[in-house]
Every structure is written in C-alpha cells, then in structure tokens.
Amino acid sequence: MNKNLLTLADCAPSSTAEPMARAKAEDISALLKAVADPTRLQILALIAKADLQESCACDLTGPLGLSQPTISHHLKKLAEVELVEKQRRGTWIWYSLNKTRWSQIAQLFA
C-alpha cells in the first residue's frame, strides 16, 4: 500500500488489462471502512483535540451519548486497522492517534 490509488492503476499495461488486485482493493477498503463511520470520525476528532492528544474510553461516552460497550466496539475497530493505539496506565486505557497510518490514507488520495 505504498502507492496511491491512481498510480496503482498505472501498473497494468493497457486499458483492457486486469483490474487492481482484489486483495489489495479489500485491504484498502478495510482501512477506509474503519474511518467511514460518523461516530468513529467523531471519536478520532475528540482524541485529536484532547489534552496530550489522548483519551480514555470513559471520556468519550458522555460527549457522544453512546453506551460504554458501543464506544469500546468502535475503538476496537479503529485499533484493528491501527488508526489508534492503546496504552494501559493503571485502571485507564489511553487511546491516541497513529499519525503514520493517518497520513497513509492521505497518500492514497494524493
């Protein structure tokens, strides 16, 4: 996933050649699906604006008006594609953005 979508298309020799490999399309799709949810976009924005750019899950339920398991579910989805990272400090688990992964998405559309 080191080339963007448009240049990826150039890998094939002609306009009637094979399409982008399905497996690669599914990889990119999985990453984008994780971001393409309104609640997860709000979660990412909340983390980004928090002090030290990290939040614990319990700080997200209130502003978003969602149950704790629902927030946990979304954070798991974001962690699965490595868009957020978790770090346990005592009772709390702190979530932060993986900016490398973030900019990889930007590269896809550059």
Partner DNA sequence: GCTATAAATAGACAACCATCTATAAACCAA
Partner DNA sequence: TTGGTTTATAGATGGTTGTCTATTTATAGC
Contacts for 9 with CB less than 8 Å, ≥ 6 apart: 20
Return the residue of 32, 92, 99, 103 that touches DNA, per CB under 7 A: 92
Query: x/- string (CB under 8 A) for a copy of itself, residues 90-109?
Result: -------x----xx-xx-xx
Return the residue of 1, 20, 76, 87 that touches a copy of itself, per CB under 8 A: 20
Which CA distances in Å does 92 have to 38, 62, 86? 25, 16, 10
Residue whose CB is less far from DNA, 48 or 66: 66
